[in-house]
Amino acid sequence: MSTADATDDWGAGGTGRGVERKADPGPGSGGAGGLPVWVLGLLPLLLVIVTIGGFVALDGPGIGDRTGPPAEELVVEQTVLKPGTIELTVRNDGPDAVRIAQVQVNDAYAQFTGPSEGVGRLATAKVRVQQPWVEGEAYEVVLLTSTGGTIVHPIDIAVETPDEDGSFFGLMALLGIYVGVIPVALGMLWLPWIRRIPAGVFRVVMAVTVGLLAFLAIDSTLEGLELATLGSQAFGGTALVWIGAVVAYLLLSGVSSWLSGRRRSAEASGASPTQLATLVAVGIGLHNMGEGVAIGSAYSSGALALGAFLVVGFAIHNTTEGLAIVAPIAHTKPSLGRLALLGLLAGGPAVLGAWIGAAAFNTSVAAFLFGFGAGAIVQVIVQLAPTIRDGEGRTLHPPAVAGLLAGMGIMFVTGLLVAG
């Protein structure tokens, strides 16, 4: 074999056997049969659409007619009480249309007006029942369908639903400020104290902060799961809580990564003190939005006592959130404007949540918001965790564990003061 032949077989570091090398086609080059790449990617999707269209056009061949009674699943999403009437907003969660034939209130038949035709899948309808009711009494409304099915909806305490006018939304805003903005602002007054404590004590304070946030994340998740089980299941039910959590975690992770790329002076956690404080405020704000939704919806239904004890309870419970915000920026010199902005980010969403809950409460939306808040808080915890490491690089050292437990204990005890 000549030198030229050897070069042809092996090349520069080749594998022998006379293998011919081909250039790698570019991303826009033709594929099989010379078709463009975008056509090859779109072709399977078009075939799926054609297949589904044919199946629908032929009326589902092979499935046959279903036997047995229709599946009737009506869910009451909202109750509005006015003098002499009880109005229910219902949604059809089942696959079949549901027609309401009769209504009972406390085992007595009542006159009602509602949809003349059946309520289709995922559709909503209002059922207005002519029923004199007494404030403070309990009622049980039973919807009887045309097939003999029953949907039972209890009203634990009958209270007139307030009108949604300007004064109503003003009251909701005031309530949101009481339970969100003011407590967070008061908690931020701990900033001068945090600046003067030793490094070891500061790590414990940061551990307390993580404990506070961990409790909020658990609380948000449980609240969302409870709401999801009470409302419509057609849009995902409890899955909405977990979807909201994942969406929030990924969004905040992306935002944090983007901010870290712009601020090379970041800490070892990947975020500067200002970024950490902002993320904490956003996470707490999302939690407070979910809290506001629960407060507003409870107030509109009359299930929440708006006494001074309630305001004091929420204030004490949420004041610790201010500590969580200022802890990451304890050794910086933030302006008053930045501190005010952080406070509004954390407390302001409670006002928006109260408006949403009182005016357009929907269990699916509320469940998603609670999950969103929980996911945001978990992402913040991941960002804060490196700040509690000791000199040996340990995160769960004894002082940190004590701080974590103390933070969760504080939130639990102050949460007992909130009465609904």
| Tens-digit pLDDT profile for residues 236-295 | 788 888 998 898 888 878 776 775 665 544 444 455 788 788 888 887 887 777 667 766
Fold assignment, 74-155:
Immunoglobulin-like (2.60.40)
Beta-carbon contacts of 264 under 8 Å, excluding residues fewer than 6 positions away, are: none
- Higher pLDDT: 161 or 71? It is 161
% of the chain surpassing 90 pLDDT? 8
Of the ranges 31-45, 115-129, 145-159, 254-268, which one carries the lowest mean pLDDT score?
254-268
Query: What is the DSSP code string of 56-124?
Result: HHTT-TTT----SS----EEEEEEEEETTEEEEEEEE-SSS-B-EEEEEETTEEEEEE--SSPBPTT-E
Task: State the average pLDDT for the chain.
Answer: 77
Comparing C-alpha atoms, which of 172, 298, 287, 176 is closest to residue 222? 287
Residues 315, 182 contacting (CB under 8 angstroms)? yes
CA atoms of 199 and 359, how far apart (whole Å) = 47
Does the structure show a pLDDT above 50 at 13?
no
Q: What is the pLDDT of residue 301?
A: 52
Does the structure show a pLDDT above 80 at 146?
yes
The sign of the dihedral angle between the CA atoms of 336, 341, 346, 351 is: positive
CA atoms of 197 and 261, how far apart (whole Å) = 31
- Higher pLDDT: 359 or 355? It is 355
Comparing C-alpha atoms, which of 82, 126, 81, 131 is closest to residue 110? 131
Other beta carbons within 10 angstroms of residue 20's beta carbon come to 5
Does the structure show a pLDDT above 80 at 230?
no
Residue showing tokens 């009958």? 158
Range 330-353 burial, b when 16+ CB lie within 10 A, else e:
beeebeeeebeebbbbbbbbbbbb
Kindly indicate the confidence band of residue 361, based on its pLDDT and cuts at 50, 70 and 90. Answer: low
- Higher pLDDT: 152 or 160? It is 152
φ, ψ dihedrals at 283, nearest 5°: -60, -45
- Domains of the chain, by residue range, sit at 74-155, 166-415
Q: What is the pLDDT of residue 407?
A: 86
Q: Taking residues 10-21, what's their average pLDDT?
A: 47
Does the structure show a pLDDT above 70 at 333?
yes
CA atoms of 178 and 304, how far apart (whole Å) = 15
Q: What is the pLDDT of residue 360?
A: 58
Kindly indicate the confidence band of residue 66, based on its pLDDT and cuts at 50, 70 and 90. Answer: low
Which residues lie across from 105 on neighbouring strands? 108, 141
Strand pairing class (108-113; 124-130): antiparallel
CA distances from 281 to 113, 193, 339, 419 (A): 47, 19, 10, 25
